[in-house]
Amino acid sequence: MSYKPSIQIIAFHGWGFSAAFWNSLKDKLGDQVQFDAADRGYFSTAVQAEFDRDKDLKVIFAHSGGLQWCKSNLIDQADHLVIFSGYLNFHPVDMDLYRKSKLLMRQMQAQFVDAPEKVLRDYYDLAFSPEKNNLEIPGILNHDLLLSDLSVMDRDKHSHQRFFDLDNITILHGSEDRLVSKNKARKMFNALRYRSQYFEILKAGHAFPITHADKCVEIIRSIIDTRITNTISR
């Protein structure tokens, strides 16, 4: 009987979503992997996840701002990090673009105080574009946590060093992302080019792990197969 390597994926959703964000990918990967989706707690009780020590391959999925609330000790344990719709810096470096980005974020935070449902609805519309948004806003939301995490994103102070300590990173990005431009993703790839690979998914937006799950799984399976082959050959 051939040996079947054990694989665990821990997934971290981005701002405004829940662990259900990963359902399409989880279902399509099936029993090939142990898939644990952490939940920040925006709409329900927060759920954390830890790696099992006996797994042959440990992988982190992080969508957008999910990269910031993923604990550093898990990144240290991971064999591979897959970044969806991600960035190293939320705000652009160019000063004119930086000011515009900061202004838009401050306006979003101010509006969220009084009209959180509208902010989330507009955010989902942008996240799913160019596809149609069919996501419903949950009836109960953790207003303070959502607003606090917006502020964290605005401050843009998270450490980059933990990503430079990883040797195996895959960056996936939608070519039509209206929330995190593909230029940010390309700059991330350029900064991490000696330890990363980059895939740009055509006609896909910020929420492409939902809208383009089949393409994501195709890439993910190739990553897993390559990593498993390297693990066994060592």
Which tokens in the block code for residue 31?
């029993």
Given a cut of 80, whether residue 230 has pLDDT beyond it is no
Q: What is the dihedral of CA 21, 23, 29, 30, to 10 degrees?
A: 160
* Mean pLDDT along residues 133-162: 89
Would the pLDDT of 77 be above 80? yes
Dihedral sign from CA coordinates of 92, 40, 23, 119: negative
Cβ atoms < 10 Å from Cβ of 194:
7
- Quick one: pLDDT band at residue 231, thresholds 50, 70, 90? low
pLDDT score recorded for residue 4: 61
pLDDT tens-place string over residues 13-62: 999 999 999 999 999 998 879 999 999 999 999 999 999 999 999 999 99
Kindly report, residue by residue over 184-225, the tens digit of the pLDDT: 999 999 998 888 999 999 999 999 999 999 999 999 999 888
Residue 66 predicted with pLDDT over 50:
yes
**Please, are residues 8 and 59 in contact by the beta-carbon 8 Å criterion?**
yes
Q: SS3 for 184-204, per residue?
A: HHHHHHHHCCCCEEEEEECCC
Query: Where do the DSSP E strands lie in 78-120?
Result: 80-84
Report pLDDT digits (tens) over 90-118. Answer: 888 888 888 999 999 999 999 999 999 99
Reported confidence tier of residue 5, pLDDT bands at 50, 70, 90? low
Query: Which residues are within 8 A (CB) of 194 and not within 5 positions of it... i.e. 6 or more apart?
Result: none
Are the C-beta atoms of residues 193 and 134 closer than 8 Å to each other?
no
Average pLDDT, the chain: 91
Answer positive or negative: Cα dihedral of 146, 147, 149, 154.
Answer: positive
